[in-house]
């Protein structure tokens, strides 16, 4: 139970902000920083947190790395809007500039994310910080959720009403979701690989931004606090649905957690999805079609060269997003998966352990494998222990982390445009 003295003002403030009353990305990252030296520029080394749960530098650094990314990542939002305006004006030169700005910003995001290891110890994060970031939707200790006393009252049977919310997650960043929308990167429920007539349509799919197909169900569920019963959380996933209609009925996790964003950020993403057409425009400029790959020799070569550069710039944006997701996957492996497979956290033998994984592990493109006493890198796709016992590691939002993140990375590159001029 959450006492009324906490529950009532928390819900009221959250309603005003258009956000769920639970710990979230905005609370610990977007609204939890200050400049150490106000007369100095916004920079990771000039940031401090306003509060932490553990009173550790590790927790502060974990938040502040993301705060820095959100800060300068705003350049990408400006570039996205410039790209949309350039398309409206059919100004390919300005579109090229905007795409390069988006790409360079993601490069900076990746470089900043890579600094996570500098001041955030995986052991401290997992055992001392992460428990505070959990919500009460997939929490074993709160299987029914939490009662917000003085807010909801009782149901028709006289039983108290429980609320279930996912906890804080980097997936709640409007910046990263905006990049996905702008680049037309589509994400589906883990394990679902959409196909039409036996052929994967994701790479060549050119209809109007299809993330709109999920909005209806998201909006219907947004204010329903009791629609997340365990009966819907079975382990059976639909593989390769036979038609697109079955995909329309799905609701990706990334849409679900928008209820944990501030209302204005969520509205921005909804509006962006209605106007973002970068990929479709580029395809139209190349006369690209999955069944047509030849072009008239009479076409103007200068125009073709310009289109070629735009295709390359767009694909480079995708490549940098793939790099971002690879780095994120590495951090999750080191900070969560390996820690979850260790002991119960009672002994902190982390000095030697951490020294073996730090920067090299996080910057590597390989997966991390854990043994009982030492950490090594291999090309394996799973984290294993000496007992080869596999355990499912979930994120604070309840996702099965590794398959979820790997699929997001694959879906990113699925949107790559085949360059007909190479």
* 199, burial (CB in 10 Å: exposed 0-12, middle 13-18, buried 19+): exposed
Rounded to whole angstroms, the Cα distance separating 7 from 3 reads: 6
Within 10 angstroms of residue 171's Cβ, the number of other Cβ atoms is 25
- SS3 of 147, please? strand
* 328 annotated to bind ligand: yes
Rounded to whole angstroms, the Cα distance separating 248 from 170 reads: 25
List 367's β-bridge partners, or say none.
378
C-alpha distance from residue 398 to each of 133, 137, 166, 196, 222 (Å): 12, 8, 7, 29, 17
Is residue 247 within 8 A of residue 194, CB to CB? The reply is yes
Which of 266, 393, 412, 297 is closest to 337 using CA atoms?
A: 393
Is residue 116 within 8 A of residue 336, CB to CB? The reply is no
- Which structure tokens are listed for 341? 């497979």
- SS3 of 33, please? strand
* Binding site, annotated residues for heme b: 328
* Binding site, annotated residues: 328
């Amino acid at each position: 139970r959450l006492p009324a003295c906490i529950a009532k003002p928390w819900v009221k403030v959250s309603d005003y902000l258009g956000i769920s009353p639970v710990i979230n990305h905005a609370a610990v990252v977007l609204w939890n920083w200050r400049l150490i030296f106000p007369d100095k520029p916004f920079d990771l080394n000039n940031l401090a947190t306003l509060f932490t749960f553990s009173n550790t530098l590790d927790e502060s650094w974990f938040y502040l790395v993301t705060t820095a990314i959100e800060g300068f990542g705003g350049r990408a939002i400006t570039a996205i809007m410039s790209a949309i305006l350039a398309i409206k004006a059919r100004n390919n030169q300005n579109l090229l500039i905007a795409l390069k700005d988006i790409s360079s910003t993601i490069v900076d995001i990746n470089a900043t994310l890579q600094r996570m290891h500098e001041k955030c110890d995986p052991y401290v994060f997992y055992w001392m910080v992460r428990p505070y970031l959990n919500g009460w939707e997939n929490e074993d200790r709160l299987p029914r959720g939490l009662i917000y006393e003085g807010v909801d009252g009782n149901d028709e049977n006289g039983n108290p009403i429980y609320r279930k919310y996912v906890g804080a997650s980097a997936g709640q960043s409007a910046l990263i979701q905006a990049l996905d929308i702008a680049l037309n990167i589509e994400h589906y429920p883990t394990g679902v690989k959409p196909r039409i007539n036996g052929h994967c349509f994701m790479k060549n799919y050119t209809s109007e931004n299809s993330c709109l197909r999920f909005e209806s169900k998201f909006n219907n569920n947004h204010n329903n606090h009791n629609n997340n019963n365990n009966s819907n959380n079975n382990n059976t996933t639909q593989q390769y649905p036979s038609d697109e209609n079955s995909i329309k009925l799905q609701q990706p996790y990334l849409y679900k957690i928008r209820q944990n964003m501030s209302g204005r950020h969520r509205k921005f993403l909804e509006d962006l999805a209605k106007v973002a057409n970068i990929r479709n425009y580029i395809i139209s400029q190349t006369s690209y079609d999955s069944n047509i790959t030849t072009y008239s020799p009479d076409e103007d070569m200068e125009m073709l060269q310009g289109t070629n550069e735009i295709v390359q710039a767009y694909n480079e944006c995708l490549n940098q997003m793939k790099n971002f997701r690879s780095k994120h996957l590495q951090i999750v492996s080191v900070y969560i998966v390996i820690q979850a497979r260790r002991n119960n956290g009672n002994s902190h033998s982390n000095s030697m352990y951490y020294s073996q994984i730090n920067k090299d592990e996080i910057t590597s493109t390989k997966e991390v494998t854990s043994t009982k006493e030492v950490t090594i890198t291999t090309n394996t796709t799973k984290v294993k222990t000496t007992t080869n016992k596999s355990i499912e590691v979930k994120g604070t939002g309840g996702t099965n982390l590794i398959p979820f993140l790997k699929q997001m990375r694959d879906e990113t590159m699925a949107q790559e445009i085949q360059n007909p001029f190479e």
